[in-house]
């Protein structure tokens, strides 16, 4: 006999998990579709050449990507995110109308260190707008995710969407004579760890990218700006040196702020100079939704990546996306939400030969929109009642031979325990 | 530059595919949940020991199962069906309340010959009732799938659910002195090909299982019975020899017929002695939904398998399941259904500086439950109109600077072309 076991880092989703998941995904889908984001799905399997295409952001992730040769000796990998499939999809559908606004909910696979709350197979839920250079697209992603998260405020509490701009950060680094791509990206990775590392740790890491203590000091100073977007923008316009990238970053942020105002979500947004997000592929605005309360971390992340979609096309295609941390969201909701009982009425037949009658009545009730079950286990009456109670049925309809002969039935309210004798016809036909 | 390409045998689902898929799955889910079937999901990855557990039905399928060693040198496979994961799930959750009635919609992977309409990654949609020996569970699966299929009758046409019983078939074979397990299973596999093979072909294949021409003749005779269940049952009770298996099979069918009557689905069901279904693990009733019309093939299949669930538990656990061929169903519906346009209103700003106004109006319309988009491409007015037309918007709301100054807006009906000048406030507040 083999001991049944799951693959390490994977989960089964039982009925309670799935009902919650379906409900949450359903609520978010409606919000996404109302703003014109449409669903797509792509295979779990991708060619290794596609997954490992340079610039798709996977350099680090490739190390932990499940991959193997198929029976035809082709190297295949399980997708590690939903962005690379989007890039491939857009490349293979060159006549797709622009903007292409899609959402995608699906599993991804990463062979990561197994930790509580971290899985090797987990779900992502992304929206992306491909083809638009307008900051209105950035603002729309932010407003859309803000609306989705606000639907779950009673479970996750308040949130803020922190916004920064990569061009602005790069402009400041350039001004500090940090200009090589390697240094710029390294520096951004370091800033990304600002919550985790001590000041000494940060300096040490900056040093590995050949950034001097003086430079590091000024970088950290510049990262302290945080607050209302309009306010910080006007300060930065006065304080910051003028170079092309700084000007571009400020102008993008200014435009984004204008559209966020039109969407009515400015109260949920703040500027945060310390936000850069780790991935190398962002080119403009970056954003992250953070839950209020100490160390509660982020619940969504995204930004503009104008250089990546065109990877296979040989030309730039602008794009911006925002991804909800759906696993985190579901974890936060679990146990805080009482699902509606799936079965409203349990039809109990006191003797087994009345089972066909129980089925007939169940089916009639179902045509009235009720969710109904009956006994499939040959249980005696008292065990049927116990089972009905266990599955949370609101009512038990009791079929006894003498009652049935008179065309009657007993309806028991499981909450109050009250029983009522009723004519079957009147119950089923109303 | 790499040419973007999919893994052979896999598909992308674009928005139209996905919207249809979500709608169909949503409709079926409601029907399943109304009868108490609850959703579960399990990982794509399963341990190879689990997938290859003897008796799980995978002997043939294992040859075409994607499998590989993970970075921790464990052999892992992609699930090839949703039944093996169910078996594992039940085994790992011994305290699950019985009956356990679950549905599962999800992808499975098989490295099969690539053919039109056959994919290496495709979806299955199963219901199974675990724990109940009652034929009422079989009847419930049949009634549930019948209701689901009937929802799509306008696209797939009429269907019949053919029913047979493995005990009955085995009993007849035993009577013909075909008793070894190998012979019985081989014979059933041969019968399963009855539509595909010629009479000579069948005899030849019977011969490989050491079944004589005389036996084969009588088997083929016995397979010709087909028709109303009650009628055939009474004929068989008179005609067939009496042995234990034949008696058990007839009694199970009789009971099933009684419950099917209670469910009101007898008109959709027929007895068909030639139905056995290929899989070795069925132990009682087998059933298959077939579309009317020559060679249109099956759209759902299932049966009772009382020996498989207990594979890891060391004891029998009764189970019955029915699986809709969801890929086939979707293929049949494709192109026959016109999806509702996702965007009802396109808000067009005649000049770019009115975009924030367009956003504000869009957001207000959305709070009224409308699905709204606006221009993200910096298009001129006539191109915005063209785009609105392309995405099927019913109305375009036109924002011009002079109209806006007067608090007015022009609403264009895209079907009639009629334009109406309206006060913004009256439009947004009603």
Q: Which of A310, A333, A356 is the last residue before a domain boundary?
A: A333
Query: Is A59 domain-assigned?
Result: yes
Whose tokens are 């065990």? That residue is A383
Q: Which of B333, B355, B386 is the last residue before a domain boundary?
A: B333
Furthest-apart CA pair in chain B: how many Å?
94
Query: Is B237 domain-assigned?
Result: yes
A35 exposure class (CB count in 10 Å sphere: 0-12, 13-18, 19+): buried
- CATH number for the domain harbouring residue B78: 3.30.930.10
Query: Is A210 domain-assigned?
Result: yes
How distant is the alpha carbon of residue A271 from its chain centre? Answer: 23
- Rounded to whole angstroms, the Cα distance separating A236 from A221 reads 13
Contact A348, A358 (CB under 8 A): yes
Same-domain check for residues A182 and A66: yes
Query: Is A117 domain-assigned?
Result: yes
pLDDT of residue B205: 79
Same-domain check for residues B66 and B115: yes
- Rounded to whole angstroms, the Cα distance separating B152 from B28 reads 10
Residue A226 Cα distances to A78, A273, A299, angstroms: 39, 6, 19
* Per-residue b or e along A301-335, where b marks 16 or more CB atoms closer than 10 Å to that residue's CB: bbbbbbbbbbbbeeeebbbbbbbbbbbbbbebbee
Residue closest to B24 by CA, chosen among B8, B35, B40, B13: B13
pLDDT of residue B209: 77
Same-domain check for residues B155 and B258: yes
Q: State the DSSP string of B291-345.
A: ESSTT--EEEEEEE-TTTGGGGTTS---EEEEEE-HHHHHHHHTTT--PPPS-SE
Joined tokens for residue A400: 């006894």
Q: Is pLDDT larger for residue A198 or for residue B20?
A: B20
Residue A315 Cα distances to A134, A302, A318, A389, angstroms: 18, 22, 10, 63
Same-domain check for residues B311 and B363: no
Find, in chain B, the residue whose alpha carbon is nearest to that of A94. B4
Contact A329, A297 (CB under 8 A): no
pLDDT of residue A181: 80
User: Hey, are the CB atoms on B44 and A355 less than 8 Å from each other?
Assistant: no
User: Hey, are the CB atoms on A19 and B39 less than 8 Å from each other?
Assistant: yes
Contact A32, A333 (CB under 8 A): no
Same-domain check for residues A302 and A259: yes
Tally of residues, chain B: 430
Q: What is the pLDDT along chain A (430 residues), one digit of tens a residue?
A: 678 899 999 999 999 999 999 999 999 999 999 999 999 999 999 999 999 987 666 677 888 999 999 888 889 999 999 999 999 999 999 899 999 999 999 999 999 887 777 899 999 999 999 999 999 999 999 999 999 999 999 999 999 999 999 999 999 888 888 888 888 877 777 877 777 778 788 788 778 877 788 877 887 777 789 999 999 999 999 988 889 999 999 999 999 999 999 999 999 999 999 898 877 789 999 999 999 886 778 999 999 999 998 888 888 899 999 999 999 999 999 888 877 778 999 999 999 999 999 999 999 999 998 999 999 999 999 999 999 999 999 999 999 999 999 999 999 999 999 999 999 887 776 5
- Can you say whether residue A202 is alpha, beta or left, with left for phi > 0 and alpha for psi between -120 and 50 degrees? alpha
Q: Which of B97, B111, B131 sits opposite A70 (nearest CB)?
A: B111
Same-domain check for residues B381 and B258: no
Assembly ipTM? 0.93
Contact A3, B32 (CB under 8 A): no
CA angle B255/B257/B260 to nearest 5° reads 115
**B319-324 vs B345-349, strand pairing mode:** unpaired
To the nearest whole Å, the CA of A314 is away from the closest chain B CA by: 7
A147 exposure class (CB count in 10 Å sphere: 0-12, 13-18, 19+): buried
Orientation angle between helical segments A244-263 and B355-367, nearest 10 degrees: 40
Query: Is A218 domain-assigned?
Result: yes
- Rounded to whole angstroms, the Cα distance separating B112 from B66 reads 10
Same-domain check for residues A294 and A405: no
Same-domain check for residues A160 and A39: yes
Q: Is the pLDDT of residue B245 over 70?
A: yes
Q: Is pLDDT larger for residue B168 or for residue B210?
A: B168
Orientation angle between helical segments B213-222 and B166-175, nearest 10 degrees: 150
Residues contacting residue B421 through CB under 8 Å, at least 6 positions apart: B403, B408, B409, B410
To the nearest whole Å, the CA of B329 is away from the closest chain A CA by: 18
Residue B286 parent element (H or E): strand B285-291
- CATH number for the domain harbouring residue B372: 3.40.50.800
Q: Which of B18, B34, B45 sits opposite A41 (nearest CB)?
A: B18
Q: Which of B300, B333, B366 is the last residue before a domain boundary?
A: B333
If you average pLDDT over every residue of chain B, what do you get? Answer: 91
Chain B residues within an 8 Å CB radius of A3? 312
User: Hey, are the CB atoms on A259 and B15 less than 8 Å from each other?
Assistant: no
Residues contacting residue B13 through CB under 8 Å, at least 6 positions apart: A39, A40, A41, A42, B21
pLDDT of residue B57: 63
Contact A388, A348 (CB under 8 A): yes
Domain that holds residue B244: 15-333
Same-domain check for residues A383 and A252: no
Residue closest to A410 by CA, chosen among A341, A349, A342: A349
| Chosen from B9, B20, B34 to mutate, greatest number of chain A CBs within 10 A | B34
Residue B41 Cα distances to A405, B105, B317, angstroms: 44, 8, 21
* Mean per-residue pLDDT, B250-258: 98
DSSP state of B395: E
To the nearest whole Å, the CA of A135 is away from the closest chain B CA by: 9
Q: Which of B4, B107, B136 sits opposite A92 (nearest CB)?
A: B4
User: Hey, are the CB atoms on A92 and B33 less than 8 Å from each other?
Assistant: no
pLDDT of residue A202: 78
In tens, the pLDDT along B372-394 reads 999 999 999 999 999 999 999 99
Same-domain check for residues A407 and A268: no
- Can you say whether residue A219 is alpha, beta or left, with left for phi > 0 and alpha for psi between -120 and 50 degrees? alpha
pLDDT of residue B256: 98
To the nearest whole Å, the CA of B16 is away from the closest chain A CA by: 8
- Rounded to whole angstroms, the Cα distance separating B249 from B175 reads 14
List the alpha helices (DSSP H) in B240-294. 244-263
pLDDT of residue B17: 94
3-state secondary structure chain A: CCCCCCCCCCCCECHHHHHHHHHHHHHHHHHHHHCCCEECECCCEEEHHHHCCCCCCCCCHHHHCCEEECCCCCEEEECCCCHHHHHHHHHHCCCCCCCEEEEEEEEEECCCCCECCECCEEEEEEEEEECCCCHHHHHHHHHHHHHHHHCCHHHHCCEEEEEEEHHHHHHHHHHCCCCCHHHHHHHHHHHHCCCCCCHHHHHHHHHHCCCCHHHHHHHHHHCCCEECHHHHHHHHHHHCCCCHHHHHHHHHHHHHHHHHHHHCCHHHEEEECCCCCCCCCCCCEEEEEEECCCCCCEEEEEEECCCCHHHHCCCCCCEEEEEECHHHHHHHHCCCCCCCCCCCEEEEECCHHHHHHHHHHHHHHHHCCCCEEECCCCCCHHHHHHHHHHCCCCEEEEECHHHHHCCEEEEEECCCCCEEEEEHHHHHHC
Same-domain check for residues B385 and B304: no
In tens, the pLDDT along B267-324 reads 999 999 989 887 778 999 999 999 988 677 899 999 999 999 888 888 889 999 999 9
- Rounded to whole angstroms, the Cα distance separating A87 from A59 reads 16
B161 exposure class (CB count in 10 Å sphere: 0-12, 13-18, 19+): buried
Chain B residues within an 8 Å CB radius of A257? none
Contact A271, A233 (CB under 8 A): yes
Range scoring the smallest mean pLDDT among B203-207, B331-335, B398-402: B203-207
Query: Is B2 domain-assigned?
Result: no
Query: Is B9 domain-assigned?
Result: no
Give the 3-state secondary structure percentages of chain B, helix then strand then coil, rounded to 5. Answer: 45, 20, 35
pLDDT of residue A208: 81
Q: Which of B34, B258, B359 sits opposite A259 (nearest CB)?
A: B359
User: Hey, are the CB atoms on A38 and B45 less than 8 Å from each other?
Assistant: no
- Rounded to whole angstroms, the Cα distance separating A379 from A385 reads 9
In tens, the pLDDT along B53-95 reads 876 666 778 889 999 998 888 899 999 999 999 999 999 998 9
pLDDT of residue B337: 84
Q: Which of B2, B14, B92 sits opposite A53 (nearest CB)?
A: B2
To the nearest whole Å, the CA of A173 is away from the closest chain B CA by: 31
Same-domain check for residues B263 and B302: yes
Chain B residues within an 8 Å CB radius of A135? none
How distant is the alpha carbon of residue B133 from its chain centre? Answer: 24
Q: Which of A15, A50, A262 sits opposite B39 (nearest CB)?
A: A15
pLDDT of residue B8: 92
To the nearest whole Å, the CA of A245 is away from the closest chain B CA by: 23
Query: Is B51 domain-assigned?
Result: yes
Joined tokens for residue B61: 């399928």
pLDDT of residue A304: 97
Chain B residues within an 8 Å CB radius of A36? 342-343, 371-373, 391
**A269-272 vs A226-227, strand pairing mode:** antiparallel
Find, in chain A, the residue whose alpha carbon is nearest to that of B121. A43
pLDDT band of B202, cuts 50, 70, 90: confident
Look at residue B101 and give its three-state secondary structure.
strand
Tally of residues, chain A: 430
- Rounded to whole angstroms, the Cα distance separating B38 from A341 reads 11
For chain A, what is the domain count?
A: 2
């Amino acid at each position: 006999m083999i001991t049944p076991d799951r693959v390490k880092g994977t989960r089964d989703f039982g009925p309670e998990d799935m009902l919650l998941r379906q409900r949450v995904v359903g609520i978010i889908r409606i919000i996404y579709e109302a703003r014109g984001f449409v669903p797509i799905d792509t295979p779990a399997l991708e060619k290794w050449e596609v997954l490992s295409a340079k610039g798709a952001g996977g350099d680090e992730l490739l190390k932990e990507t499940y991959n193997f040769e198929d029976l035809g000796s082709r190297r295949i990998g399980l997708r590690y995110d939903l962005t690379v499939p989007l890039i491939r999809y857009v490349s293979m559908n060159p006549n797709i109308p622009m903007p292409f606004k899609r959402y995608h909910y699906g599993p991804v696979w990463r062979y990561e260190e197994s930790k509580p709350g971290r899985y090797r197979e987990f779900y992502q839920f992304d929206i992306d707008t491909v083809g638009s250079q307008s900051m209105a697209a950035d603002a729309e992603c932010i407003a859309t995710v803000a609306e989705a998260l606000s639907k779950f405020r009673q479970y996750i509490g308040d949130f803020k969407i922190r916004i920064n701009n990569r061009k602005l950060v790069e402009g400041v680094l350039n001004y500090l004579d940090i200009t090589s791509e390697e240094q710029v990206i390294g520096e951004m990775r370091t800033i990304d760890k600002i919550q985790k590392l001590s000041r000494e740790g940060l300096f040490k890491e900056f040093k590995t990218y050949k950034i001097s203590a003086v430079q590091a000091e000024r970088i950290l100073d510049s990262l302290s700006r945080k607050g209302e977007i309009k306010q910080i923008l006007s300060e930065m316009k006065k304080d910051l040196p003028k170079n092309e990238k700084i000007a571009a970053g400020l102008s993008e942020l200014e435009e984004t702020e204008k559209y966020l105002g039109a969407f009515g979500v400015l109260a949920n947004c703040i500027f945060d100079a310390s936000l850069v997000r780790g991935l190398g592929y962002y080119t403009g605005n970056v954003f992250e939704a953070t839950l209020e309360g100490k160390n509660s971390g982020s619940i969504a992340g995204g930004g503009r990546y104008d250089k990546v979609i065109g990877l296979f096309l040989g030309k730039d295609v602008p794009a911006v996306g925002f991804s909800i941390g759906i696993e985190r969201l579901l974890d936060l909701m679990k146990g805080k939400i009482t699902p509606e009982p799936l079965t409203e009425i349990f039809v109990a037949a006191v003797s087994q030969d009345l089972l066909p009658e129980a089925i007939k009545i169940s089916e009639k009730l179902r045509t009235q929109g009720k969710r109904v079950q009956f006994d499939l286990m040959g249980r005696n009456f008292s065990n049927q009642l116990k089972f009905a109670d266990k599955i949370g049925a609101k009512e038990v309809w009791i079929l006894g031979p003498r009652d049935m002969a008179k065309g009657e039935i007993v309806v028991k309210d499981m909450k109050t325990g009250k029983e009522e004798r009723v004519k079957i016809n009147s119950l089923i036909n109303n």
